[in-house]
Structure 1
Amino acid sequence: MKSVIIILGPTCVGKTGLSILLAKALDTEIISADSMQIYQHMDIG
């Protein structure tokens, strides 16, 4: 069974950095979503 890890919290607390570290360690991808859009591959900045 596959797992889903959800990281959530307020702005500027390190969610992106943590998610990148986890994705590299687990050899998986990141899907980032906010209230208006969903992003994949973290090329949003």
Structure 2
Amino acid sequence: MNSSEIARSFEQLWDKKPGAVVLLVLGFVVFIFLVVDAWRHKRRRHKPRR
């Protein structure tokens, strides 16, 4: 599956239900934000305090 096929199916989904696409993108962004936040907290915790 190449990028143009993904874009085409994405456009079809946008035509049918744009709300689902918005929710999908929002969920994706929130997921990435949570992963990055957790990763940063994990790194901070392992550093020895002086």
Give the TM-score category using the shorter length. Answer: 0.3 to 0.5
Structure of greater relative contact order (alpha carbons < 8 Å, 6+ residues apart): 1
The structure carrying a bigger helix percent of its residues is 2
TM-score normalised by length of structure 2: 0.31
The structure carrying a bigger strand percent of its residues is 1
TM-score normalised by length of structure 1: 0.34
